[in-house]
Structure 1
Amino acid sequence: MNLDVAVLLCGVAALLGTSVLAIAVSRHRSATRLVYSATLGISAVLLALAVGHLATDATATSTVALPLGLPWIGARFHLDALATFFLVVVNLGGAASSLYGLGYGLHESAPHRVLPFFPAFLAGMNLVLLADDAFTFLLSWEFMSLASWLLVMAHHRDQDNRRAGYIYLVMASFGTFALLLAFGLLSGSSGDYTFEAIRAGGPTPLVAAAVLGLMLLGAGSKAGLVPLHVWLPLAHPAAPSHVSALMSGVMTKVAVYGFIRVVFDLLGPPSWWSGVVVLFFGGLTAVLGILHALMEKDLKRLLAYSTIENIGIIFVSLGLALAFGANAMGWAAALALTAALFHVLNHAFFKSLLFFGAGAVLTATGERDMEKLGGLIHRMPLTSFVFLVGCVAISALPPFNGFVSEWLAFQAVLQSPDLPQWALKVMVPAVGGLLALSAALAAACFVKAFGITFLGRPRSAAVERAQEVDRCSLAAMFILASLCLLAGILPGVVIDGLAPVTLSLVGTRMPPQMTQPWLSIVPIAESRSSYNGLLVFLFIAVSASLAAYAIHRFASRALRRGPAWGCGFQDIGPSGQYTAVSFAQPLRRVFAFAFRASEEVDMPAPGSTVPARLTVTMHDLAWEWLYVPITDAVDYAIERLNYLQFLTIRSYLSLVFVYLVALLLALTLWP
């Protein structure tokens, strides 16, 4: 099926029309179902078109130029394999969030602040993927950022939400400015901002280095790379839960798309050192992201920090692809790039699922603090089940999808001995160790998230009154849980679907997987590595069923039910259970250097009835070492320059004259 970009633009126009309609009907009682039904239908159509194009004729391209934008360029839109894959990710997330919103949106306290901007947000992300010139790309990027900011500010009466929105807006503006500089360098003195002209230009090594740094700043700030991540754990939890799923599971992938489009496509052949830089930031992001997630007791903030970790995994794989591509190791570059793109899709599945689960918990209990939850597996068994699936998937445990993409990334790491540069020979194994550490910490993090939230006894009256959520919300969660399983047991389908993308970016692809016997996947050769998700799933299902049968058949009569053991104390109550903070205490002490963590114990004198207190203090080093000095410097400069507003007219004219002379001199001396 040859998909024309004009058809996709019609879908984008329909989303924008829905946004306008939502403004008119947002205060009507049926507005929620009307708007989310429309976005569900439009996103589902766009998703079906993108999947069909990727599966049948992804090598075909289509271009449309509209008489908008820059006068000598217009607005150019282009569809290729890379854009098609990310269209699948965006519209799959959009359809799932819309379905979830049909139920969740009925509990929204201010729907008129969400409904007009939800379809606009989806339209902006689609436009970024289709843009084929720098002006259209930046305009769409800024439109996407502003629409998401308005969604973050939906509950603006909360002071924390206002702070989150302000920081997000500042970081988004900074990222857009970095992207503007990057495209300015790429276009050069010719001023031709079309992607086709940029590809043909061939930047110098110095320009390529500057563009790489600017893309790490611009796209990295939107994706959540450390140390540009500070806005993400504030903004994502502030938004409504289905919007949080879109921002965390989808919008961050649009940032990944922007990085891939420029670095892998527009910059031309990579340099080996670019792989070192991307690997460093990717590994640092993966470990610090999951460490911060482990320390959290707010369920949505935990999931937001976990997104930072997964972005780190994606960038590690992209760094490997750059390193292998620079050394003409096409097969290894295709493996690493496939791992990155596979994880992009996987993270959209399980992170959207987990945010939906967190939204269900919030709807049923009114709580995000895990210290006040517990025992929900009895009150919300279906939500508990799908949330457990998401936890297993994000922890990279077989047979779910998270294992496959991380396993492919490790297979790419194992090819590092063939790299000629010693910097890469040292860097890649070190980053591989960080990936292994982050995977282990992720498993511990989501054991905590599921155990503290759903197991044990209720810690508050709100939990005791909790009930299962609506059918639309459950349907969205079960669909994503099924996709997590299907992508894990049939990964060859996804890998073959990604082949046109890797072929267009690195010139080669992984071997065809669907022709392998027993639906195994073989990244390199059968003698070196292979994995069969279907057989693993069947083994786990059969062995678990036999174990359960044996226990109930031969041991159930010997079981005796009793109260939970209270460490020698009688019925100490729910407060005696493990909490999120106590669960993370051993790891907090081991990795105290990452947070400058300190503990202060206030132990009363013997015989005193005053309770003992343990005070834990932690710090975000990126915020304190980078952003606080910058804000202090800006405040200092503003105070010193404040006198300029009290100058006389003569002084202002003199300043303008000096500025004009300096500008003319700069233009005269410009080579």
Structure 2
Amino acid sequence: MTPIILLCALASFALGGFGAILGRTPAGRIIVYGGSLAVAGAALLAALVQLGLGVAPEPSVALPLGLPLIGMNFGMNDLSAVFLVITNLGAAAASLYALGYGRHEPEPWRILPFYPVFLAAMNLVLIAADAYDFLIFWELMSLASWALVMAHHEQEETRRAGIIYLLMASAGTLVLLFAFGLLAGPHGHYAFAAMRGMQRAGWIGGIVMLLALAGVGSKAGLVPLHVWLPRAHPAAPSHISALMSGVMTKVAIYAFIRIVFDLAEPAAWWWGLAVLIVGGITAVLGVLYALMEDDLKTILAYSTIENVGLIFVGLGLALAFKADGMMVAAALALTAALFHAFNHMLFKSTLFFGAGAVQHATGERALTKLGGLIHRMKMSTVPMLIAAMAIAALPPLNGFASEWLLLQAILLSPALPQFGLKLAVPAVGALVALAAAFAAACFVRLFGFAYLGKPRSAQAAAAHETDAFSRAAMIGLAALCVVAGVLPGFVIDLLAPVTQALLGAHVPSQRGLSWLTVIPVSASRSSYDPLLIFIFIAVSGSLAALALHRFGSRVIRRAAFWGCGYQGLSDASARDVASSTQYSPSGFAQPIRQVFASVVFRARDDVVMPAPGQLGPASLASSWTDPAWWAIYTPLVTTVGRIADRVNRLQFLTIRRYLAFVFLALVILLAWTALWG
């Protein structure tokens, strides 16, 4: 199947050329997005055939490109196939959505040339068979996505987001370069197959794991490397935001699994501890960030950080179990992580599509300016509700299924022998439970204030439904959220070849179990019956609705709302009072803000109250700061500035001193090379 993916990537590059030529014409949008939909569909089908039929991995395909005598090497195995399914399903949905949404872009020629290149680069990262090709296409993925983020470059906020993203992406690539250099060893074996068979000291594997965690963490959004994500994702067009959040972060997760689980063997128990702690902190802080925000797309961007944290908790558990020889438990944790990566692509892409539809329909993204959209955007409200319930981990949807598997893996942790893990895993489990509760509150807040209640602005009152292409993409992904939630056993079985290849074990087969029950370890420990839960919810909900319609009062009584003591209001004033007397998004999050954000985010509320007898208005101003900025990046920038001022003197040295520096550097390099060899 590797040649098919290569042909799809080549076709994507060709579509990028069409986008550059025809970007200013309506035909360009149809050709690029329609062609991308077809190419992504073909790549998705090839990956599903590889995964579903259990096709044996093919020998790598070499192309006479790139470095002399090395060329470019590509290969596809079960791990690549899983992430190719995630990537191309998300790409197909985004392309379908963009066929309608793209009509509203003011400057489509800034998007169309780079969109298919972005898709091609992500696919080529997943099938790269050596470090050289991996890093080339990793950097191409970063540059193409940066160009897409900068599509609305006229906004100062977008330009700032682009600079931060480019810096973080470049730093991540540099760190991955060092990781691959250590894996290649002194003889420079950059092919993945050669790296797997190498014997290396244990400390090298540990350093590689930490470098991989930092390198892919800057792309995936792990705290404290997340600072670019809540700026870049909202700045991009909505279908690009969906790809960056739902798909590109999964390519980063693939990179971590490929390096740490496949190449940097053998694993030590403290690897899992480090990944667990980072993942747990990321999950809780990500959803706390989301609860503090008012912008619809920024909330979704911060929620991505939370879900990436949950995935890394699963990966950390898998590493810990693997190091102690508990391969079935490791397979369960890795399955939970992969399943949640797939689920996150489904519901987060749907939510970003919905956010784009809301922005186009109202011109607003602030929750304080929305409301009542359920009456004006009836068809697109349904998939948004399903996706919000899925990301809040409500049964029987897919978000609950993967998080339930993760919790089942956590419950197996008492068998771990290390005292540090015995303490850390339950603590991280508590963080996961806390993050799940906060996520439910976050998406009750998002959906409730955007779609329910009265419109809070004239723009929300005049909202209209989105186009048919956008609705089709949202409904398709939302339907898959339901299917993957009700039938998770089929997804778990599809992931079994990956865990078998990486760990030598897999979760017991779920096929043939009565009522499609999910039993991850054994029936005596725990089981989950999503189909029965779905039937119960559907039947009980239908009976309740029928009873209300049959026996409830049919009389509709309309009355004037309470005007806060004001009399004789005009219609416009009445609407303003009606919206202002509703519960506000900041008020909803205030209890959590008071308990957690005052310590974690240095949140503060500045209240100005007029003196007694004065008629001036009272005011409330709230502010908070990201701890990563004041604890890490601000001191780092200050230190770099000071060092740059001192190093600036070097440009005023004489030629003799420059030559002395060059000679000294050469001697050190040769000595290091000799010692390394």
Which residue in the other structure is 2:47 paired with?
A: 50
Give 3-state SS (helix, strand or coil) of 1:614's partner.
strand
**Contact 2:9-2:123 at 8 Å conserved across structures:** yes
Match of 2:584 among 579, 589, 599: 579
**Contact 2:4-2:46 at 8 Å conserved across structures:** no
Amino acid at match of 1:345: F
2-structure distance, mates of 1:59, 1:534: 33
1:381 Cα offset (Å):
1.1
**Contact 1:73-1:194 at 8 Å conserved across structures:** no
**Contact 1:62-1:80 at 8 Å conserved across structures:** no
Would you say 1:116 and 2:113 are equivalent positions? yes
Which residue in the other structure is 1:285 paired with?
A: 282
1:657 Cα offset (Å):
3.9
Q: Map 1:542-561 onto structure 2 (within 5 A).
A: 542-557=539-554, 560-561=557-558
2-structure distance, mates of 1:655, 1:323: 46
2-structure distance, mates of 1:564, 1:288: 39
Match of 1:615 among 621, 627, 630: 621
Q: Map 1:10-159 onto structure 2 (within 5 A).
A: 10-159=7-156
Deviation per CA, 1:22-81: give whole Å up to 9, x if none: 111111122111110000011011111111221112443342012222324221111100
Would you say 1:222 and 2:219 are equivalent positions? yes
Match of 2:199 among 202, 212, 219: 202
Match of 2:475 among 475, 478, 481: 478
Amino acid at match of 1:426: L
2-structure distance, mates of 1:58, 1:498: 14
Give 3-state SS (helix, strand or coil) of 2:61's partner.
strand
Which has the larger displacement, 644-653 or 337-346? 644-653
1:285 Cα offset (Å):
0.4
Amino acid at match of 2:582: Q
2-structure distance, mates of 1:125, 1:355: 19
Deviation per CA, 1:317-337: give whole Å up to 9, x if none: 011111111111111111111
Would you say 1:231 and 2:228 are equivalent positions? yes
1:648 Cα offset (Å):
4.0
Which has the larger displacement, 453-462 or 176-185? 453-462
Which residue in the other structure is 2:268 paired with?
A: 271
Change in CA separation of 1:66 and 1:280 when aligned onto 2, cut-off 3 Å: same
2-structure distance, mates of 1:565, 1:559: 18
2-structure distance, mates of 1:134, 1:670: 20
Which residue in the other structure is 1:5 paired with?
A: 2
Would you say 1:634 and 2:640 are equivalent positions? yes
Deviation per CA, 1:544-594: give whole Å up to 9, x if none: 111111112112236644455678878632112122212111100010211
Change in CA separation of 1:594 and 1:41 when aligned onto 2, cut-off 3 Å: same
Amino acid at match of 1:583: F
1:650 Cα offset (Å):
4.3
Give 3-state SS (helix, strand or coil) of 2:197's partner.
helix
Match of 2:506 among 504, 509, 524: 509
Which has the larger displacement, 216-225 or 48-57? 48-57
1:643 Cα offset (Å):
2.6
Would you say 1:646 and 2:652 are equivalent positions? yes
Query: How many pairs were matched up?
Result: 668
1-structure distance, mates of 2:601, 2:561: 35
Tell me the TM-score normalized by structure 2: 0.96
Change in CA separation of 1:666 and 1:44 when aligned onto 2, cut-off 3 Å: closer
**Contact 1:59-1:500 at 8 Å conserved across structures:** no
Change in CA separation of 1:599 and 1:58 when aligned onto 2, cut-off 3 Å: farther
Which has the larger displacement, 105-114 or 520-529? 520-529
Q: Map 1:246-645 onto structure 2 (within 5 A).
A: 246-557=243-554, 560-563=557-560, 572-591=577-596, 592-645=598-651
Change in CA separation of 1:528 and 1:662 when aligned onto 2, cut-off 3 Å: closer
2-structure distance, mates of 1:654, 1:340: 53
**Contact 2:18-2:28 at 8 Å conserved across structures:** no
**What's the % identity of the aligned pairs?**
57
Give 3-state SS (helix, strand or coil) of 1:73's partner.
coil
**Contact 2:283-2:435 at 8 Å conserved across structures:** yes
**Contact 1:58-1:84 at 8 Å conserved across structures:** no
Q: What's the RMSD between the two structures over aligned residues?
A: 1.5
**Contact 1:66-1:74 at 8 Å conserved across structures:** yes
Deviation per CA, 1:133-187: give whole Å up to 9, x if none: 0000000100000000000011111111011000000000100001000000001
2-structure distance, mates of 1:666, 1:258: 29
2-structure distance, mates of 1:322, 1:661: 41
Unaligned runs of 5+ in 1: none
1:124 Cα offset (Å):
0.3
Amino acid at match of 1:425: K
1:297 Cα offset (Å):
0.1
**Contact 2:15-2:31 at 8 Å conserved across structures:** no
2-structure distance, mates of 1:327, 1:668: 37
1:646 Cα offset (Å):
3.2
Amino acid at match of 1:652: Y
Give 3-state SS (helix, strand or coil) of 2:554's partner.
helix
1:668 Cα offset (Å):
5.3
